[in-house]
Structure formats: C-alpha cells, structure tokens
Amino acid sequence: MKFNFQDFLLKEQQKPYYQLLMLKLSSTEYLPSKENWFFALEDFDFDNLNVVILGQDPYHTKGVAHGLAFSSLATNTPPSLRNIFDCIKKDYPKTVFASNNLTNWKNQGVLLLNPILTVSPSKPLSHKNLGWETFSLNLLKTLVNQYSNIIFVILGKNSLDFLSSIDLKNQITLKTSHPSPFSAHLGFNDSHIFKKINQYLIKLNKKPIDWSTK
C-alpha cells in the first residue's frame, strides 16, 4: 500500500506530543515558514522513494531554509552544501549546480529530511527535543515497514544515533562523516558516497540520480 503523507500527518496531529509541539511553537519565532515545514514530504512520490538523506535541523538564517535538508534558497552556498557539491564533482565532474535548491533531487526520489523541522532564527538546534524527533522517527518507522531497499545515507554520529531505534535490516545503509566543515575531512570528502548511491540504484535496476540542480 502506498504511503500517504497527509494521512500520516493527520494521525500524528491527533497525538499529545504533536499538540504539545504546536503549543510550544505558537509562542516562538521559527524557520522555515509554516508552509515549508513539510516541503520534503509533500508531493513526494513515496512509491519512488530511493534514498533518505538525513540532515539535522534547518538553516537558522532567514531566507535560506525551505524544508529540504541541506537545500538553500540563498545564492551563497552554505559550507556543508559546498562540501556536498565538491564530493559530487569528484565522481561527476560535469555536474552543473545552477542553484543551491535541491528540489531536483526530491523529484527523483531523494528524501532530504531534517529530523528537527524548525529552528529559532540565529539559534542552531534551538528546537531540539521539542517533539519533531518523535514525528520524524514515526515517519521513518512507517516507511521502512512499507518499503525495502531504501538507501539510508547516514552522515555523522547524530544521524547514526537518531536511527538507532529503527530496524534497517531490509534497507541499504551508507555511512560517513557529516559534510560540515568541522567533520567533512573525517571521511565525507573522500567517501564517493553519491557515486555509491547510484551504484546501488543501478544494481536495483533503478535509474541513477542526476545530482545537478536547477
């Protein structure tokens, strides 16, 4: 049965943790705007779910975050995304990054999910433990129960810890360090992880991802 995000959201909205989360958010400023909270999930073709790439929380500068992990509406490329682009270029040197907007990846079945979906301006991780982690865990547990051979890209210890309660035995996992300037040199920069994703997709008789941006 195809996963329906709106049905899932409706069920979560009726749970006490979610109602408490909304109450907390009602009295604080947050990014991105409410209409972009679920941009990674809305209009996503879950029957074509190929890859899950976990971020952490949204960019905390106004006008940057729009609901896709690592993706940016700004013209200046954020440091982590710059390292991602550089990693891709090592294996796909002709890739064109026309913008920092990763919607083209989403449209090919790449779920770019920040487990924490909001943040206070200029305060990274300010919405940690508000309740979004419960929402994201419930989402991912539902997806792994319905689909197999999803490629989970686990970037750094935070993502590894976050996924520790999820049974990934029927999925594919690729692990490396986070692309942040503080940790990219610990494995990410030479991981060839985007090439590895495509190699797995080809083995699964699926179309490889075009990593360019528009």
* Residues assigned a catalytic role: 57
DSSP E strand boundaries for the chain: 51-54, 110-113, 151-155, 172-176
208: Cβ–Cβ under 8 A, 6 or more apart, which residues?
Answer: 197, 198, 201, 202
119: Cβ–Cβ under 8 A, 6 or more apart, which residues?
Answer: 30, 31, 57, 58, 59, 60, 65, 125, 126, 127
Burial of 210 (0-12, 13-18, 19+ CB in 10 A): middle
- Token pair recorded at residue 78: 């954020």
Cα–Cα distance for residue pair 72/91, rounded to 1 Å: 23
